Amino acid sequence: MAKKNKLKIKKSVAKRFKVTKTGKVLFRGSHIRHLRRKKSKSNLRRQKVPQRLRGVMAQKVKRALGKSIKTKIK
């Protein structure tokens, strides 16, 4: 019987998203790297907390990560 090839995970997706043990997809908010002075402090605090991705996009991320879904958010 022929050996099956392993599917490669999408590295760009693995860097940006994390799938929790329960299956939730988390990502970090954007716009907090630079030009922070004009943004409100409450907005910056809110952006630091990982946010949950839902719906079809979450399914697409899980599919792109394949079976190795334990990744870290950078």
Nearest to 53 by CA among 31, 8, 20, 7: 20
Helix, strand and coil in the chain, % to nearest 5: 30, 10, 55
Q: Read off the pLDDT of residues 21-74 as tens digits, 9 standing for 90 and up.
A: 888 999 998 888 899 999 999 999 998 899 999 999 999 999 888 866 555 665
**Structure-block tokens of residue 30:** 């954007």
In the chain the domains, ranked by start, together with CATH numbers, are 11-65 (4.10.410)
The pTM for the full model equals: 0.73
Q: What is the DSSP letter of 4?
A: P
